[in-house]
A and B are shown apart, each in its own frame.
Chain A
Amino acid sequence: MTGTLDIVYAEYNYWIYVTLMMIGFYAMIAKKNLIKKVIGANIFQTAIFLFYVSLADITGGTAPILPHGGEHVEHAADVIYTNPVPHVLILTAIVVSVSTTAVALALIIRIYNEYGSLDEDVILAARKSLQPEFSEYARQKGVAEVGDQ
């Protein structure tokens, strides 16, 4: 039992990220509001970022920035640097995350202007009334009654 407890204590950061990821994943699947789906995707992405950055961390390590210029490199061997490679990966991922969020929000604004709602079911029902062959899902759901507004 103590072995399990040790593992839980030594790797507590991963459990936090798994929880955070589950929250974001649930919001993406279960919520009907499109804005809440985007927020869920962002929570999900944040969990991945934190996971990578925590993989890079070294106890007692400092930021991967070498001191001053090239003259002082001789004592650089004493200093422990954290792993710079995941930081670079995540810098890329954050930028992509911002871009996808911006495009998603712009699409949601256009959807709202078009259908007057952010609710997934209402939008699907409105699409069904416009193009009946286009939304098999909405017909199966039987949400035609909310599509009249």
Chain B
Amino acid sequence: MKTLALLVVVITGVMLIYAGQDLPPFGDSNTDMYQHRMTQYFIENSESESGVSNIVTALLANYRGYDTLGETTVIFTAGMAVMLLLRRRET
């Protein structure tokens, strides 16, 4: 069982290393991801559109505000779930 698990893990790792050869080098700025117009748009316009100088906060609360609302709901639901599972009733 352990050897089978090790085999699966090693095969996954080899496949990831093989696929990872096409990834951009560490710290490269000439990647498609960084030069993409959305990234450049966020860096240039996020302050004038949302008035916040932290681009990450502008993205989090403004452009992805609906997603962050869902995220807050997730953590709220997790807290309620743990409360339902573990809280002992005072009888």
Chain B window 37-70, contacts with chain A (Cβ cutoff 8 Å), 1 for yes, 0 for no: 0110011000110010111100110001001100
Residues of B with C-beta under 8 A to A55? 23-24, 33
- Is A61 in the interface zone, CB < 8 Å from B? yes
Q: Which residue of A19, A54, A68 is within 8 Å of B53 (Cβ)?
A: A68
How far does the alpha carbon of A99 sit from the alpha carbon of B82 in the complex, in Å?
A: 10
A83 to chain B, nearest CB (A): 5
Number of interface residues, chain A, beta carbon within 8 A? 49
Beta-carbon contact of B55 and A65 below 8 Å: yes
Hey, which bits of chain A sit against chain B, CB under 8 A?
7, 10-15, 18-19, 21-22, 25-26, 29-30, 54-55, 57-59, 61, 64-70, 73, 80-81, 83-85, 87-88, 91-92, 95-96, 98-100, 102-103, 106-107, 109-110
